[in-house]
Amino acid sequence: MSELRPFVLTSGRVEAADPEIRLETQVTARRPGPSGPGAPLAGLAPELRAIVALCAEPMSVAEISARLRLHLGVTRILVGDLRSTGHLDVHTADVADPHNPETIKRVIRGLRAIS
């Protein structure tokens, strides 16, 4: 999507500040209203606006990354930024072991389905 280098998009950050945001985490755009976005979308960078637009329907972080052709680490950081500004809601699954082979296989199947 962008020709900018990843460190420019993330302001030099290399790790997501929010450990809840993993590749299988589902993300949705927050609906306008009293608990809606804290800032207008027009003030956001194009990559951030694209993420919010994609998340009109629930979407995994991995799928956002694939569709926008952004590095997964960059996507995790940007999703965390959008969550902190109130633009996105993050929905985590109750997975006892996120490194469980079945969870990983489900993610792989999902990624193959969108490619």
Sequence ranges of the domains in the chain: 6-114
Q: Which pLDDT tens digit goes with each residue over 20-67?
A: 888 888 999 987 665 545 557 777 888 999 999 999 999 999 999 999
Spatial CA neighbour of 93 closest among 35, 24, 39, 29: 24
Instruction: Note the pLDDT of residue 19.
Output: 79
Phi first, then psi: what are they for 110, rounded to 5°?
Answer: -65, -40
Amino acid at 57: E
The tokens for 90 are 């993050």
Instruction: Note the pLDDT of residue 13.
Output: 74
Report how far residue 78's alpha carbon sits from residue 100's, in angstroms, rounded to the nearest whole number. 26
Tokens 């003030």 correspond to what residue? 43
